[in-house]
Structure 1
Amino acid sequence: MLALVIGSLTLFTIGALLVKFATADGDFTLLFKGRAKRERVEGKVVWITGASRGIGEVLAGQFACLGAKLILSARNVAELERVKIETIGKYPGTNIEILPLDLASGEEALKDAVKKAESLFSASGVDYMVHNAAFERPKRKALDETEEGIQATFNTNVLGTITLTKLLAPFMLKRGGGHFIVMSSAAGKCPAPGQAIYSASKHALNGYFHTLRSELYPEGIKVTVVCPGPIETSITSGAGSSASGSSERRVSSERCAELTIVAATHDLKEAWISYQPVLLVMYLVQYMPTIGFWFMDKIGGNRLEAAKRNGDTYSWKLFFGEKKKTA
């Protein structure tokens, strides 16, 4: 009888976990952390790049809601001003400064930006650096990428981001602490057919920042690498999303920002944010790489074809391919 009860409870637990996994929008460690810790953010200075739209804009609002002081950066000054006005309208009393920034502008320009950011709030330097800005090109075959596209992607996603970190970190070290939040991508963990250069840039970020954390953690520097899958940004950015008109299921920008702040305030080293099947692929590649890479090899060509049709590039159907229409 006891064995039957234990067996039933075991099956029930396994079933509940499978249902939870099937409907999850993030990895289990992240989802079990609960809410963001307000006390870790309130009164702190948070610098966000790519803050003029999309996830960056939503992150600004959610950090403001938690009582943070904000530095908003992007190339589009008019959009930054809009985000500032709307954020203060929702959260009166929020301290927000605008700092125009182009990550591809070179080391000297970035050095000037860091000095200015460190001085924008009296007696307070940057506590959280949110690396959100990124450059992404339309999906195409790896061998079709141009030198111009490769350079544009790496100049922003990798070189500019790393240089900004290298220039800011000494200020954090002098104060005895700081936190880098890196908006990477599921493409930085798994193969991403049609996005080879973007994927390569995110893999580079993951390698750099995980290594940086290992080197500087004893000196008070924390790093949280966030790897979102497909995210819906059209509502918040005011621009058309690549998912417009398709059946792709995407995590909302609001939920992505919420989970990002949860991950950071709970000191997670890495967090994954996505629905299925992307989340499953990330788990497979991480823990059973042979199976994970086999799965991606099966869908690679089909994903490129779906991208050409502006179809669903995150569907289970990619594994089986399209049935040929009979005449």
Structure 2
Amino acid sequence: MFFTVIGIGVFTYGALYTLLTCLADCDLELWLYEKFGKSPRRLKGKVVFITGASSGIGEYTAYALAKFGVKLTLSARRLNELKRVKTKCLELSKGQLEDKDILLLPMDVTDCASHKSQFSKAVSHFGKIDILLNNAGRSQRANWEEIELEVDKQLFDLNVFAVVNLTRVALEHFNATGEGHVAVVSSVAGVIGAPYSGTYTGSKHAIHGYFNSLRIENMRKNLHVTLLCPGPTFTNFLGEAFTGKAGEKLNSSVQETDKRMTAERCGYLNAVALVNKTQESWMGLFPIIPLIYVSVYFPVLFKLAVKVIGPQYLFKLRDSKTLDQNLHKD
């Protein structure tokens, strides 16, 4: 009887867990935090430095935080777009934020020599930075064997080395104040090898290596490290995506009929992850989340499944179109 009860309990737990991974649009830790954890309103008055804040996930994370009265440093290359985002943030804050509570820093993150001076401007303006959110980056679509080495270098400069260098600058400040929080917008491609995006996938795996190492080194300090891993999201990322040729952009676009998470929802989940200081959070519509769970916890089963469904299916799951459609410009 005792073992029967245990067996029923294990079966029930497994069935419930499987059902929730299929219904939720994020990993179950983040789902539980959203339902029962700290609300992003607990971040009110904190200062968050966001790179790549003029569009996409960075823009909508700024909106999500502004709604809760979070002070912001918004960084990107396009000043006009930053001004637009700031105006929207002030509107969404409903009086919680004033003009001085949102600092705009036009900045090319690949100019690593400017990181220290730019970060110092934010510290001087607010007196402190509580969270650095590294969001700036670009995606890629290309056949692995056709990628030029210069593309690898350029993409790593943006997606990896700029992130690492700015974080090291921020760590000087966090170490001086005795606390801090570093977050990076990675991707589910940092967990699963995404086909036909070899350099991009490599850059995100590198980010996980760098920041998992940083977390372990500082586990006894008041420094928190969060990896945010969204799946397919409605943003303009395909327009700016790298291909396999240096200097070329994909110039493609997402369609309204695509199966993607909204940027607004992704931004809010990022805010939930930040306030609850998660270590790694996954986001995406079905079947992204169960697919990640299988790849991480049942790798042999995942390998067999990939052999059956093939890389083309994974590509279509990611971009809602075939490889041939996406590698040829709209």
After TM superposition, the score normalised by the length of structure 2 is 0.83
Query: SS of the residue aligned with 2:202?
Result: helix
> Structure 1: where are the runs of 5+ without partners?
312-327
Q: Quote the residue 1:264 is aligned against.
A: 274
How many aligned positions are there? 303
1:274 aligns with 2:284: yes
Q: Quote the residue 2:105 is aligned against.
A: 99
The correspondence of residues 1-327 of structure 1 with structure 2, limited to 5 A, is 15-33=15-33, 34=35, 36-38=38-40, 40-91=42-93, 92-94=95-97, 95-106=101-112, 108-121=113-126, 124-137=127-140, 139-233=141-235, 242-244=253-255, 247-298=257-308, 299-303=310-314, 306-310=322-326
The residue type paired with residue 128 of structure 1 is: I
Q: Is the 8 A contact 1:36 1:261 kept in 2?
A: no
How far 1:7 sits from its partner (Å)?
8.8
Compared with structure 1, are the counterparts of its residues 10 and 287 closer, same or farther at alpha carbon in structure 2 (3 Å cutoff)?
A: closer
Query: SS of the residue aligned with 2:218?
Result: helix
Compared with structure 1, are the counterparts of its residues 9 and 114 closer, same or farther at alpha carbon in structure 2 (3 Å cutoff)?
A: closer
How far 1:310 sits from its partner (Å)?
3.6
* Partner Cα distance (2:10, 2:47) in 1: 47
The residue type paired with residue 219 of structure 1 is: K
How far 1:47 sits from its partner (Å)?
0.4
Query: SS of the residue aligned with 1:218?
Result: coil
Q: Quote the residue 2:319 is aligned against.
A: none
Larger displacement relative to structure 2 (181-190 or 19-28): 19-28
How far 1:301 sits from its partner (Å)?
4.4
> Structure 2: where are the runs of 5+ without partners?
240-250, 317-321
Larger displacement relative to structure 2 (175-184 or 269-278): 269-278
Q: What percent identity do the matched residue pairs reach?
A: 32
* Partner Cα distance (2:110, 2:296) in 1: 32
* Partner Cα distance (2:83, 2:305) in 1: 45
How far 1:291 sits from its partner (Å)?
2.1
Q: Is the 8 A contact 2:67 2:89 kept in 1?
A: no
* Partner Cα distance (2:223, 2:6) in 1: 45
* Partner Cα distance (1:251, 1:303) in 2: 17
1:242-282: CA deviations, max 9, x gaps? 3315x531111111111112122112111111122222221
The residue type paired with residue 325 of structure 2 is: R
Compared with structure 1, are the counterparts of its residues 287 and 6 closer, same or farther at alpha carbon in structure 2 (3 Å cutoff)?
A: closer
Alpha-carbon RMSD across the aligned residues, in angstroms, is 2.8
1:125-144: CA deviations, max 9, x gaps? 1101011111223x111111
Query: SS of the residue aligned with 1:243?
Result: coil
Q: Is the 8 A contact 1:37 1:262 kept in 2?
A: yes
